[in-house]
Amino acid sequence: MKIGLYIHIPFCQQKCLYCDFPSSANLTHLYQSYVTALCREISGLGGVLSGDTIDTLYIGGGTPTVLSADCLQQILQQVNRSFSIDSNAEMSIEANPGTIDQEKLLVLQSGGINRISFGVQTFSDQLLSSIGRIHSAAQAIEAVTMAKQAGFNNINIDLMYGLPGQSVQQLRDSIIQAVELNVTHISAYGLKVEEGTPFAAMQDQGTLILPDEDDDEAMYELINQLLPQRGFMRYEISNFAKDGYECAHNLKYWQYQPYLGVGAAAHSFWQKERLANITDVLSYIQTVESGHLPIHMREIPKIGTAMAEYVFLALRTLQGLRVKEFNQYFKDDFFHHYGDVVSELVDKKLIVANKSRVCLTTIGMKYGNVVFGAFLPE
């Protein structure tokens, strides 16, 4: 079987003001202990998967490149020792432009990494500062250029829109700059103010000034018009790629395929079971060091929940849901369960459907959460 592997690095140099991901700053004293524990978990997992092949790897965070070159090398060497890696595997890592250098790029390349995702967010220094990013626009340009010079030809840039104080023109400038760097993939995410973040506190205090509804609409339209014009085709709600450069690892999530996660707070989907590791970094390290599995949650979702997950993950992609594959997976009939929901959403012009496929419309892409919610069990 071919499997995706996710490795979580829960560290960052500075927590961004919008971020609610499981990551922490100011834990440099735990880096090596964490990497040692991580390598131990990887080794144990490799022993269980002796007959399987890894065809996608994704190292995310946090900020994986906050680790030293030596720590990154330890992780990649352990992965290559522990698993059978497909010769055409996509091997990705997330990087912050402020924490990458030539030494790390060399280590990544020699360890098999062939895709880098840079968390740029915007090429406006003013906006970068206001959202708590540690890098400048010049550093972002330099990081991408350095990666290309090092031989990486599959590079993603993350952009954000709907940021406090952001104008439509600033977003246009960032898109054009990303395109002119000749990367192969661009992700564009709308800001969501998540509970427990500094932005949420600012919103409660009335000090978070977001773009108005008209500007937010204009930004959304700009992304979905300008990127395809420049050769980046939308293949998922927030993701655009040049032909052949869609992110294979993320497609596993959306296509309900198995993947395994290692590291603190990592999640897995294996044999129809969902598992989650301990979130607290120190507890994770201590658990692995004591020889125990760091899993704190495992469950097989109820059939109604599993069906809903399958549907809305598939609908995130432009390919949509293939009815035959749903029926084969669940040994059940899609339209028997969701015929009324489909009819209602078609009437609202949020989806298009025939007997073989269901897809979001352009409007449905914008209001995806409304569509997804309609499929949830009551």
CATH number at residue 117: 3.20.20.70
- Is 297 inside a domain boundary? no
Q: Are residues 249 and 307 in the same domain?
A: no
Do the bridges between strand 273-277 and strand 295-299 make them parallel or antiparallel, or are there none, so unpaired? antiparallel
Question: Torsion over CA of 173, 174, 176 and 179, rounded to 10 degrees?
Answer: 170
**Residue 262 falls within a domain, yes or no?**
no
Whether residue 284 is contained in a domain is answered as: no
Answer whether 81's CB lies under 8 Å from 46's CB. Answer: yes
Tell me, yes or no, whether 247 lies in a domain: yes
Q: What are the phi and psi torsion angles at 298 (to 5°)?
A: -150, 135
Quick check: is 317 in a domain? yes
Domains of the chain: total: 2
139-143, 191-195, 229-233: the lowest-pLDDT one: 191-195
**Those residues with Cβ within 8 angstroms of residue 207's Cβ, 6 or more apart along the chain or in another chain:** none
Are 312 and 249 members of one domain?
A: no
204 and 317 in a single domain? The answer is no
Question: What pLDDT, on a 0 to 100 scale, did the predictor assign at position 356?
Answer: 98
Examine the domain organization and report whether 148 and 11 are in the same domain: yes
Structural domain contains residue 283: no
On whether residue 291 sits in a domain, the answer given is: no
Lowest mean pLDDT: which of 49-58, 180-189, 298-307, 326-335? 49-58
Pair type for strands 321-322 and 357-360 = antiparallel
Give the residue from 224, 254, 284 where a domain finishes. 254
Give the model confidence (pLDDT) of 295-321 as tens digits: 999 999 999 999 999 999 999 999 999
What pLDDT, in 10s, does the model give residues 180-222? 999 999 999 999 888 888 788 888 888 888 999 999 999 999 9
Tell me: do 194 and 51 sit in the same domain.
Answer: yes
Instruction: Please say whether the beta carbons of 281 and 264 come within 8 A.
Output: yes
Torsion-angle region of 256 (φ positive above 0: left; ψ -120 to 50: alpha; else: beta)? left
362: how many CB neighbours lie within 10 A of its CB?
A: 10
Note the pLDDT tens digit of each residue in 5-35: 999 999 988 777 777 777 777 789 999 999 9
Range of the domain at 147: 2-254
270 occurs within a structural domain: no
The answer to whether residue 364 scores a pLDDT higher than 80 is: yes
